Amino acid sequence: MSGKEPHGERVKPEGKPLNPGDEAAPGTPGTGEDICRTCKGTGRLDGAQCPDCAGSGIVIEGIGGA
């Protein structure tokens, strides 16, 4: 290594909390957005905000795997 070394570099905590329906953080390799199965992408459940996707209608799921 050359040049300056970082001093006290801290790892940032995840800025965005995951929704209950998310399997991984957005941008995680091998994962992608998918329609929330709980609310079928409507973002609503029984007239209220879907708890799994927080009303977004989208969750992060693993892809290309099982």
| The pair of three-digit structure tokens given for residue 4, joined into one six-digit string | 């300056």
Q: Is 39 a binder of Zn ion (CB under 5 A)? A: yes
The residue among 50 and 60 lying less far from Zn ion, judged by its C-beta, is 50
> Does position 50 bind Zn ion by CB under 5 A?
yes
Residue 58 in the binding site for Zn ion (CB under 5 A): no
Please state, in angstroms and rounded to a whole number, the distance separating the CA atoms of residues 52 and 48.
Answer: 12
**Nearest by Cα to 35 from 63, 16, 61:** 61
Q: What residue type is assigned to position 5 of the chain?
A: E
Q: Tell me whether residue 30 or residue 37 sits nearer to Zn ion (CB atom).
A: 37
- Residues of this chain that interact with Zn ion (CB under 5 A) are 36, 38-39, 50, 52-53
